[in-house]
Amino acid sequence: MSEPKLVVEGLKKYFPIRRGITEALTFKPPRYVKAVDGISFEVFEGDVFCLVGESGCGKTTTGRLIVRLIEATDGRMRYKVSEELKNQIPEDLLQDGKYVDLLGKLPKNVDKALRKDTQIIFQDPYGSLNPRMTLKDILNEPLQVHNIGASESERLEIIHRALSEVKLTPPEEFVDRYPHMLSGGQRQRVAIARAIILNPSLVVADEPVSMLDVSIRAEILQLMLDLKAARNLSYVFITHDLAVANYICNRIAVMYLGKIVEMGITDKVIGNPQHPYTQALVAAVPEPDPKNRLRIKEVPIKGEIPSAANIPSGCRLHPRCPYAMDICSKEEPPMVEVEKDHYVSCWLHTKK
């Protein structure tokens, strides 16, 4: 079995809620949106690790924390560094000789190298590319930031190679185009090229196909899988679509209101969901061929997802859960292993 590429422990991100003048003057304690509220998981080398869950459950925030676009409130993120990078890192920052805490204090050069090694692809291929820049400029920018390529012609060669890898060929025909001259699928290929051009080992993909036509989703997913195989990548793949997760991920974590409620091998989690929330998500997936429909009884989860600024006590699903017991509103259930590589956080699976 491969080693963990990323070990996330107790990761939190709280966004402060701006207070009105009355609140501030009456010394009311500050309030927070608990977007990510203490999550732990491992991404193994070569994994496509999915984060799934309804809107607002904290998927994007987790992705942004991993690539350090935003600062964490608390937690640890241990990252396995490559042999090449290891030589640049002072020994006292290395744990087990190969892991570095991404949330710790890092020397500038190490920080920059790690940022290069962890890239992100955003959801919106229309908004994530600067409309005033040609594809050449878009792809040249990260190369310049990281001093890659000794000359302009060398950088152009790297750009051509990246465009060919994402099947925008011949690259000479694409380099001088602007994003508006491309289809949605082609734009997302450019976004993927921009992520891989720096030769990362871990890529966070935040809903990379959700804004694309259904007809081109499969092509983009296949491209991502081909690139993973060719470049030895690991992915953290964010989606609200369980069918996409089932297709692309080997391991999966189901999030609800800033917490992971169920996690493990995709076949086990989706094929045999144990948490009432996962059961509800799986039962809601439409299956065109009724013979293949997963035999999951529909779970009547009531009402809407509450606000992350107002999280229910105990198990945060309890106001909506048809199986809620006395303990559920009082104590948060621990994460337990219900079978090998399959974890659930629910009092139905834990004896108190």
Ligand X SMILES: Nc1ncnc2c1ncn2[C@@H]1O[C@H](COP(=O)(O)OP(=O)(O)OP(=O)(O)O)[C@@H](O)[C@H]1O
According to the binding rule CB under 6 A, does residue 197 interact with ligand SF4?
A: no
Residue with tokens 């092509």, as numbered in its chain: 219
According to the binding rule CB under 6 A, does residue 58 interact with ligand X?
A: yes
According to the binding rule CB under 6 A, does residue 56 interact with ligand X?
A: yes
Amino acid at 224: M
- Measured from the CB of residue 60, what is the shortest distance to Mg ion in angstroms? 3
User: What stretch of H or E contains 161?
Assistant: helix 152-165
Kindly tell me which of 62 and 201 has the beta carbon lying closer to Mg ion.
Answer: 62
The strand pairing partners of 339, in sequence order, are 342
Kindly tell me which of 56 and 142 has the beta carbon lying closer to ligand X.
Answer: 56
Among 60, 119, 188, 201, binds Mg ion (CB under 5 A): 60
Q: Say if CB 157 and CB 240 are below 8 A apart.
A: no
User: What stretch of H or E contains 185?
Assistant: helix 184-196
According to the binding rule CB under 6 A, does residue 301 interact with ligand X?
A: no
Q: Which stretch binds ligand SF4 (CB under 6 A): 141-149, 196-204, 220-228, 314-322?
A: 314-322
- The residues in 231-250 that bind ligand X, with binding defined as CB under 6 A, are 240
Q: Which residues neighbour 84 within 8 Å (Cβ) at sequence distance 6 or greater?
A: none
Among 99, 113, 333, 342, binds ligand SF4 (CB under 6 A): 333
Joined tokens for residue 239: 């989606």
Among 60, 186, 234, 266, binds ligand X (CB under 6 A): 60
Residue with tokens 């499969």, as numbered in its chain: 218
| Terminal Cα-to-Cα distance of the chain (whole angstroms) | 33
User: What stretch of H or E contains 262?
Assistant: strand 259-265
According to the binding rule CB under 5 A, does residue 266 interact with Mg ion?
A: no
**Angstrom distance (rounded) from CA 299 to CA 322:** 8
Q: Say if CB 34 and CB 12 are below 8 A apart.
A: yes
Phi and psi torsions of 245, nearest 5°: -60, -45
Nearest to 256 by CA among 240, 273, 234: 240
Kindly tell me which of 60 and 279 has the beta carbon lying closer to Mg ion.
Answer: 60
Kindly tell me which of 343 and 347 has the beta carbon lying closer to ligand SF4.
Answer: 347
Among 252, 321, 335, 342, binds ligand SF4 (CB under 6 A): 321
Kindly tell me which of 202 and 255 has the beta carbon lying closer to ligand SF4.
Answer: 255
Site size for Mg ion (CB under 5 A): 2
Q: Which stretch binds ligand SF4 (CB under 6 A): 4-12, 236-244, 301-309, 323-331?
A: 323-331
Q: What is the DSSP letter of 95?
A: B
According to the binding rule CB under 6 A, does residue 257 interact with ligand SF4?
A: no
Where along the sequence are the contacts to Mg ion (CB under 5 A)?
59-60
Where along the sequence are the contacts to ligand X (CB under 6 A)?
15, 33, 35, 53, 55-61, 240, 308
